[in-house]
Amino acid sequence: MKRTALFTALCGASFMANSAISMNPQTDPNDVNGFVVSASEMAAAEAAQTSDPMYAIWSKALETTPNTVVEAIDAGLASNPDNVKRVERVFPRSDWDFLTHMAAPEYTYTRFLRAIGKFPAFCGDYTDGRDADAICKKSIITAFAHFSQETGGHIAIDNTSDNPLALEEWQQALVHVREMGWAEGQEGYTTGCGQKDWQNSRWPCATGQGYFGRGAKQLSYHFNYGMFSEVMYDGDATKLLNEPGLVADSWLNLASAIWFFLTPQAPKPAMLHVIDRTWTPSQREKDAGIGYGFGTTINIINGGIECGQQNKTKGQPVNRIRYWEGLAAHYQIPIEADETNTCYQQLPFGSLNLQGATDVLYTNWDGNWKYYADRPGGYSFECELVGFQTAYSALVPGDYEKCVTNFYGSHAGWPTVRVLPDAEMPTTGTGNGTDTGTPTDPNAWSAAKVYNKDQQVVVKGVTYKALYWTQGDDPLLSEAWGPWVPVQ
């Protein structure tokens, strides 16, 4: 099984589960050029494509706790969420202090607990016998190994002038809260900002703001700030796009890393599900050398640059592995026989050939452009799962409806569609999206009939003239270059 999500167009392959759902679009009673579909049909079409149990698991892992609850979390409180209490037990403040002697003051144990409290699945419970405490500790130590690389000091233990405490490099995590060379008030990392496209429609850049790296995972670029903001602020993308500094100066500096840890990216699994083995590598992944172990978490983070035989001795992966091995030894994290710490023997996830794959699950929606002869204009009026980033995620409630209705204008040429409650659906018409008037009207348009140049038809009281031979072209969908024009 496999998964998908964050903003990186990793492959062009797509997969859509075969669905027995038959959408029945109707002409919109409020817009003769638009259509309506029923809420129940839309929900059934979505459910038919996300029936694999992994979709529920992914969505559950990304559930969040309200910020009002999170901001009341502090060490030792009886009111702390259960997953926070587990962290306090397996990774107490003394462990935090041991690994953060050099850390920037913006990173604190309380903020760490709040970041974890936001996501109940991190260090959460298991009902199938897995050791939740052991998985929790391994997850934290894995995160710190990557923190040591991403935001660490990287000062040699024998460099006594810069490292007077003789700290191991894996004890030097979270030194940087902002990308080196950048400060608040500077514009930067604004590639794509201001363009008239779906990215800016969903995640609009704010004037004067910079989207350079911030926080433990160095969150960068406006689309990632927008997506993270939606998770943190109940679907509001603009909060962090307008105030990106919060990712440095509040508990979001660690929450951004936990969010990344839990989020699958096409075609990568979530890091948590590699560690807790909810993920099972597909045959294609096994053939590419990808399996369990710390090495696969490197592949998830930066496989295109750090994995593969050509990167065996490269600094970044070598550092990550050193830090992981030092931390795992200190904290006595057992390494299973089928786990590999390295990723030089792996193909990067982005290099996998997924063309025609049916053992891969995707988590982004795009318009289904297949032709359907029984629907107006041949449009499907549905969306399908694809292996590249789009405006709509299968893990975000409500995004399927937004895809069907082309909410962010990402489907060029898509018909105007509204979703209505079943009780509000029109009761007249043929069921194929076009009201043809009185069935016996000899001038009523018929999809089955052949029309020659200058023949006329009537649809919803409007007379149309054929510009050339046509059959099956709905006058209501005829564009400037189509076969029908209204008679003036």
Angle subtended at Cα 436 by Cα 431 and Cα 438, rounded to the nearest 5 degrees: 115
Spell out the SS3 assignment of the chain.
Answer: CCCCCCCCCCCCCECCCCCCCCCCCEEECCEEEEEEEEHHHHHHHHHHHCCCHHHHHHHHHCCCCCHHHHCCCCCCCCCCCHHHHHHHHHCCHHHHHHHECCCCCCCCHHHHHHHHHCCCCCCCCCCCCCCHHHHHHHHHHHHHHHHHHHCCCCCCCCCCCCCCCCCCHHHECCCCCECCCCCCCCCCCCCCCCCCCHHHHHCCCCCCCCCCCECCCCECCHHHHHHHHHHHCCCCCHHHHHCCCHHHHCCHHHHHHHHHHHCCECCECCHHHHHCCCCCCCHHHHHCCCCCCHHHHHHHHHHHHHCCHHHCCCHHHHHHHHHHHHHHHHCCCCCCCCCCCCCCCCCCHHHCCCCCCCCCCCCEEEECCCCCCCCHHHCCCCEEEECCCCCEECCCCCHHHHHHCCCCCCCCCCCEEEEECHHHCCCCCCCCCCCCCCCCCCCECCCCCEECCCCEEEECCEEEEECCCEECCCHHHCCCCCCEEECC
Q: What pLDDT score does 1 carry?
A: 34
Amino acid at the residue 487: V
Q: 222-232 and 252-262 helices cross at what angle (nearest 10)?
A: 90
How far is Cα 242 from Cα 452, in angstroms, rounded to an integer?
A: 57
Other C-beta atoms lying within 10 Å of the C-beta of residue 162: 9
pLDDT of the chain, 488 residues: tens digit per residue = 333 233 333 333 333 334 446 788 999 999 988 999 999 999 999 999 999 999 999 999 999 999 999 999 999 999 999 999 999 999 999 999 999 999 999 999 999 999 999 999 999 999 999 999 999 999 999 999 999 999 999 999 999 999 999 999 999 999 999 999 999 999 989 988 989 999 999 999 999 999 999 999 999 999 999 999 999 999 999 999 999 999 999 999 999 999 999 999 878 999 999 999 999 998 889 999 999 999 999 999 999 999 999 999 999 999 999 999 999 999 999 999 999 999 999 999 988 877 767 777 888 999 999 988 888 888 999 999 988 889 999 999 999 999 999 999 999 999 999 999 999 998 754 444 444 433 445 677 777 677 778 888 887 778 888 888 787 777 877 666 678 888 86
User: Which of these, 405, 410, 407, 414, lies nearest to 36 by C-alpha position?
Assistant: 405
Angstrom distance (rounded) from CA 184 to CA 178: 9
Q: Are strands 31-38 and 416-420 parallel, antiparallel or unpaired?
A: parallel
436-488 falls under which CATH superfamily? Carbohydrate-binding module superfamily 5/12 (2.10.10.20)
> In this structure, what are the phi and psi dihedrals at residue 311, rounded to the nearest 5 degrees?
-110, 15
Total residues found in the chain within this entry: 488
Residue 178 pairs in a beta bridge with: 214
Q: Is the dihedral of CA 92, 231, 55, 412 positive or negative?
A: negative
CA dist list (Å): 102 to 98, 172, 248, 406: 10, 6, 16, 48
Which own/partner contact pairs does 68-76 have at CB distance under 8 Å and 24+ positions apart? 69/117, 70/114, 70/117, 70/118, 70/251, 71/114, 71/251, 73/110, 73/113, 73/114, 73/117, 74/110, 74/113, 75/109, 75/110, 75/113
Cα dist from 437 to 137, 419, 478, whole Å: 68, 23, 18
* 150 given a catalytic annotation: yes
Rounded to 5 degrees, what are φ and ψ at 151? -135, 20
Distance CA 429, CA 436 (A): 7
Q: Both tokens of residue 329?
A: 């030894």
The rounded distance, in Å, linking the Cα atoms of 371 and 394 is 23
| CB-count exposure of residue 59 (10 Å: 0-12, 13-18, 19+) | middle
The backbone torsions φ and ψ at residue 469, rounded to the nearest 5 degrees and listed phi first, read -55, 135
Single out the catalytic residue among 150, 230, 306, 382.
Answer: 150
- In this structure, are residues 128 and 87 in contact, taking their beta carbons and an 8 Å threshold? no
> In the chain, where are the structural domains located?
436-488
Nearest to 397 by CA among 419, 365, 366: 365
* 367 strand-pairing partners: 383
- Interior/surface letters 324-350, b for 16+ CB within 10 angstroms, e for the rest: bbbbbeebebebeeeebbbbbebbbbb
